[in-house]
């Protein structure tokens, strides 16, 4: 039996109750693996990968990042937050399109308690982070995203996802045997969870590069 808390949304003068799971469940795809690398080891792991990560990302993640920027439709002068900024590859693209705006980048450890006020962010980018996060911690992060985004603010998310084309299952097979080789990343699907936490998913696109499977999601925040 599931346990739920409720968020009431005032839409057109009405109160609509959205059920939110107190303990986030997996998506309807029950074969999705949980995270195997403890969170306290993630920062050290990626510190060790920093010298080659951008090269890896160029050949496996670049296409998905370009599509995320396109879907965001950035207009100069916005407040944009990039959560899990990493080496800054995506953040640099944001800066070029929002030179007169307020651009903020934070690391993965700050995602659980974002030091920004409520309703201050126009667009929130999240780039290959949830594929590192255990299921039981995802909900608290999405709540933080919901809190800092303005009403109708955009959430643009990129994740490693489940294989949908020939050959992409290679990465999950590697993860099952030796997750450190994958940097702790495994394939996930976030549509359902975002909907459960008060977001409207506008589009979800599958992108594959060098057999590496990614999902790019554009969602908007419903009113509080």
pLDDT digits (tens, 9 = 90+) for 74-96: 999 999 999 999 889 999 999 99
Could you tell me if residue 4 is inside a domain?
no
In a domain, 182, yes or no: yes
* Residue 135 included in any domain: yes
C-beta separation of 72 from 154 below 8 A: yes
Does any domain span residue 143? yes
We report the CATH number of the domain holding residue 212 as 3.40.50.150
Kindly list the distances between the CA atom of residue 65 and the CA atoms of 51, 120, 136, 159, 214, in Å, as whole numbers in the listed order. 20, 24, 26, 10, 10
Mean pLDDT over each residue of the chain, to the nearest integer: 88
- The domain in which residue 171 lies consists of 26-221
pTM of the model: 0.84
Segment 176-199 mean pLDDT: 95
CA distance 125 to 81: 6
- Mark out the alpha helices in the chain (DSSP H runs): 42-60, 62-72, 89-97, 135-148, 170-177, 191-196
Q: How confident is the model at residue 53 (pLDDT cuts 50, 70, 90)?
A: confident
**Does residue 211 lie in a domain region?**
yes
Query: Is a pLDDT exceeding 60 seen at residue 98?
Result: yes
3-class secondary-structure state, position 18: strand
**Higher per-residue confidence, 145 vs 46:** 145
In sequence order, what DSSP letters do the residues of 99-122 get, joined into one string?
TTSEEEEE-GGGTTS--S-TT-EE
Cα 69 from Cα 222, distance rounded (Å)? 21
* Total domain count, the chain: 1
């Amino acid at each position: 039996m599931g346990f739920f808390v409720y968020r009431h949304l005032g839409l057109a003068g009405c109160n609509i109750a959205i059920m939110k799971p107190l303990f986030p469940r997996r998506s309807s795809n029950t074969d999705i693996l949980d995270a195997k690398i403890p969170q306290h080891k993630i920062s050290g792991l990626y510190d060790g990968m920093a010298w080659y990560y951008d090269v890896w990302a160029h050949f496996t993640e670049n296409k998905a990042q370009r599509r995320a920027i396109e879907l965001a439709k950035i207009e100069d002068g916005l407040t944009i937050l990039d959560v899990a900024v990493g080496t800054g590859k995506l953040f640099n693209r944001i800066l070029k399109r929002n030179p007169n705006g307020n651009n903020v980048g934070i690391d993965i450890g700050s995602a659980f308690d974002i030091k920004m006020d409520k309703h201050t962010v126009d667009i929130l980018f999240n780039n290959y982070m949830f594929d590192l996060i255990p299921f039981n911690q995802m909900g608290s992060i999405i709540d933080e995203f919901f809190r800092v985004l303005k009403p109708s603010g955009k959430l643009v998310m990129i994740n490693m996802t489940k294989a949908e084309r020939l050959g992409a299952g290679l990465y999950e097979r590697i993860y099952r045997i030796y997750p450190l080789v994958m940097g702790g990343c495994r394939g996930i699907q976030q549509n359902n969870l975002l909907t459960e936490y008060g977001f409207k998913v506008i589009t979800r696109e599958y992108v594959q590069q060098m057999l590496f499977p990614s999902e790019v999601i554009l969602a908007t925040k419903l009113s509080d």
